[in-house]
Chains A and B, each alone.
Chain A
Amino acid sequence: MEIYFDNCGTTKPSEIFTSNLSKFLLSDNYGNPSSLHKKGIQADKILKNAKNILASIFKCEQNEVIFTSGATQSNNIAILGVAYKFKNKNKNIITSSIEHPSVISPLYSLKKYGFEIIEIPPRYDGNFYSEDFIKKINKDTIMISMMNVNNETGSIIPIKKIADDAKKVSSDIIVHSDIVQSLGKININFNELKNIDIFTFSGHKLHSAKGIGGLIIRKNVKLNPVIFGGNQQNSILPGTENLPYIHCFSLNLLNICDNIEKNIEIYKNLYNHFIKNIDKYDFVKLGSFGKTVNHIINITVDKIHSEILVNFLSSNNVFVSSGSSCSKGKKSRILKEFNLSNDKLNSSIRISFSTYNTIEEINIFFDIINLAKGQILNF
């Protein structure tokens, strides 16, 4: 038996995704949506259908949907695209201090062109407040880029409030939000998020395969392209569209969003059961604090090095992560932002659920943690 609690890293593709993919690949739908002949027209219909599905989920127009290879590509296109558009005017960008490397790295790359990047940390209570972002806005501010839910701690950034407040200060500010860890996992009312101009999302974090993700870019927002080629996808991301993945990703996402209430209930039950277990073991503590989501839990196991615990769990077929999978075991930059002690930084692991996880798995997990405490040397 395997227990997979690393769903922020990636997820298992769903039956809807895999069965539709194999059907699609074996079908006659291999046309290029840009071709003029019947095959191309047929492919273009499938592409438009996928865009319509996403438009219905995001409450946007279908030509505002751009499919990418994943969130890293999306974030780069969004951030660099906005920055290059405004580079001759204003150069101030506000972000949170806990962003994913695919946001932080393109932002830092802009510094050499004279951009000022302002990072807003959480307050002492572990929460983010709109006014901390808003008070940093000045006449040069062109963009606010912030994630909705952090991938290591589950911390929530109030993107609606920040977007609404920012637009009151200046309607020209472009608001970008990476919602990779919240889409399909918490309730998002897109009708109320009209002040967010660009969304980033990913497929493989939501039971699709690696290699598909996307952007929603409001039609009034103009970006400079950072990749050049043909005129596919409004010229924002040229290149022949990955139609099999686009098709199956859209069907899969629709199914997840249709079942969102049920999924939220599953996460809530898993979270509550997990927290009850934490209370039973005095050496296990919640790692993060402040407002967090139910599907991401950061814990510390007293005096046990997180990397060793990850190895131990792995040898027992339980898969969790120390820090983010994207930083491969380095000490977490994100956790440092929450002012955790060195001991906690060293012993922090991340549990991230999918709706495939069960209460029984949590029980086994704690049995193995208990075993680990008895067997692994303290630091």
Chain B
Amino acid sequence: MKEIILIKNGEIALKGLNRGNFESILIKNINKQIEKLGRFKISKSQSTIYIEPIDNNINIDIVLDKLKDIFGIATLCKAFAIEKNFENIKQYSITKFDEIFRNISSFRVDAKRADKTFPMLSTEIESKIGEHILNKYKNISVNLKNPDIHLTVEIRERFAYIYCGKIEGAKGMPVGSSGHGMLMLSGGIDSPVAGYMMAKRGLQISAIHFIAPPYTSDKAEEKVKELALKLSKYTNTIAYYSINFTEIQLAIKKYCDENLFTIIMRRIMIIISEKIAISNNINCLISGESLAQVASQTLLAISCTNEIANMPIFRPLIGMDKLEIIDIAKKIDTFETSILPYEDCCTIFTPKHPKTKPDITSVKINESKFDFMPIIEKAILSVKLEMISNY
């Protein structure tokens, strides 16, 4: 008898001929997350991935805990791989799940017979095992429609697998299967959530952050790196690009209308993010904007910032309420870090009365008051790259 983990693919299972590619990426991601826990044999068959520990000292519950955060996994469970004979199956269906059966009132047995040479039909296995359980536990009954638990028996080529219950996985698509996006990461609550949501759709995530020393502190940037580290639990390694933005902010403040400061700043951030993205084979930007949350996120303000972009900008939070965003931030454990008091401080730069209905013509007129390109190029040259990873 061996303890193994069975993983059921989510959306990948619906894919056509290229399903194999998605599965290979998922297996690679799984490998990265668990390789430090010991040696495993990972194999796939139909829409199931089997993870079998090779080393004896592996704690299977720790492995399960790591796996439940990997995108592309719909459900997962601990299963027992046992020798393929009916007496054996009967025995393990009780001994391994005794505690569960003592605490439920209804169950059903599902049998799947992939190995057609096995001498019993699926329905036969189901009824015989069911009967065996009913004989042992007097206070429970069979409920085919809405049971408390499913006991599943799979008869496969080498072993019979027996398992009970399942853990919900992170779902979505395997990270890296949909391409590569550049997350505009601030120290706030929203942008890490935006990165998480796009990673769930299979994007590999890199992150860009703008610093403005001395107006922003080293501690504020440490906080952003901490957020990237927490996010990397879901996204694999994050390439973190840090750009010194001070000179640009000072120039905007000096040459442009105060009420357009944030819009122009965001447009320049997009220019820089795109340039860094292009030179690193990244094909989209990701932003934590949520419609109407602040002055720079009104429809007209977003139109103005969007106008400068050539790449698609994904804004997964656009239709979400702040409280919904906070709920996700709490779930992915970025919230407590986001609310630490090291702001991207700059009350000095924030306009007192930002324009909520900016028009692109006046934005462009303002931008033409100063030749920003040389200092943009200089800022791009200031880029610092750090690989941030959880494993």
Q: Is the CB of B341 within 8 A of A329?
A: yes
Smallest Cβ-Cβ distance to A311: which chain B residue: B214
Tally inter-chain residue pairs, CB-CB below 8 A.
37
A307, CB-defined interface residue at 8 Å? yes
Q: Mark A309-340, 1 if CB is under 8 A from B, else 0.
A: 11110110000000000001110000000000
Q: Which residues of A contact B341 (CB under 8 A)?
A: 328-330
- Within the complex, the shortest CB–CB distance from B211 to chain A, in Å, comes to 10
A23 to B74, CA, bound (A): 58
Q: Interface on chain A toward B: helix, strand, loop, or mixed SS?
A: helix
| Residues of B192-250 contacting chain A, CB below 8 A | 213-218, 250
B342, CB-defined interface residue at 8 Å? yes
Q: Is the CB of A312 within 8 A of B348?
A: no
Q: Is the CB of A309 within 8 A of B214?
A: yes
Q: Mark A286-320, 1 if CB is under 8 A from B, else 0.
A: 00000000000000000001011111101100000
Which of B213, B253, B342, B348 contacts A305, CB < 8 Å?
A: B348
A379 to B215, CA, bound (A): 11
The interface size bin for chain B is: 10 to 19
A305 to B215, CA, bound (A): 9
| Residues of B324-347 contacting chain A, CB below 8 A | 341-342, 345, 347
Q: Which residues of A contact B215 (CB under 8 A)?
A: 308, 311, 376-377
Q: Which residues of A contact B216 (CB under 8 A)?
A: 311
Q: Is the CB of B342 within 8 A of A329?
A: yes
Do A307 and B213 form a contact, CB below 8 Å, given A314-B218, A377-B250, A377-B253? Answer: no
A308 to B216, CA, bound (A): 7
Q: Is the CB of A311 within 8 A of B218?
A: yes
A142 to B167, CA, bound (A): 58
Q: Which residues of B contact A312 (CB under 8 A)?
A: 213-214
Do A308 and B218 form a contact, CB below 8 Å, given A315-B213, A328-B341, A329-B342? Answer: no
A369 to B19, CA, bound (A): 63
A308 to B347, CA, bound (A): 11
Smallest Cβ-Cβ distance to B215: which chain A residue: A308
A312 to B215, CA, bound (A): 8
Q: Which residues of B contact A311 (CB under 8 A)?
A: 213-218
Q: Which residues of B contact A372 (CB under 8 A)?
A: 214
- Within the complex, the shortest CB–CB distance from B384 to chain A, in Å, comes to 15
Q: Is the CB of A307 within 8 A of B348?
A: no
Do A379 and B348 form a contact, CB below 8 Å, given A329-B342, A330-B341? Answer: yes
- Within the complex, the shortest CB–CB distance from A226 to chain B, in Å, comes to 28
- Within the complex, the shortest CB–CB distance from B148 to chain A, in Å, comes to 44
Q: Is the CB of B250 within 8 A of A307?
A: no
Q: Which residues of B contact A329 (CB under 8 A)?
A: 341-342
Beyond A307-B217, A329-B342, 12 additional pairs, beta carbon < 8 A: A305-B345, A305-B347, A311-B213, A311-B214, A311-B217, A314-B214, A314-B217, A372-B214, A377-B250, A377-B348, A379-B347, A379-B348
14 contacts between A and B (CB under 8 A): A307-B345, A308-B214, A308-B215, A309-B214, A310-B217, A311-B218, A312-B213, A314-B217, A328-B341, A372-B214, A376-B215, A377-B253, A379-B347, A379-B348
Q: Which 9 A-B residue pairs are closest in the complex by CB-CB distance?
A: A312-B214, A311-B214, A311-B217, A308-B214, A308-B215, A377-B348, A379-B348, A307-B345, A315-B213
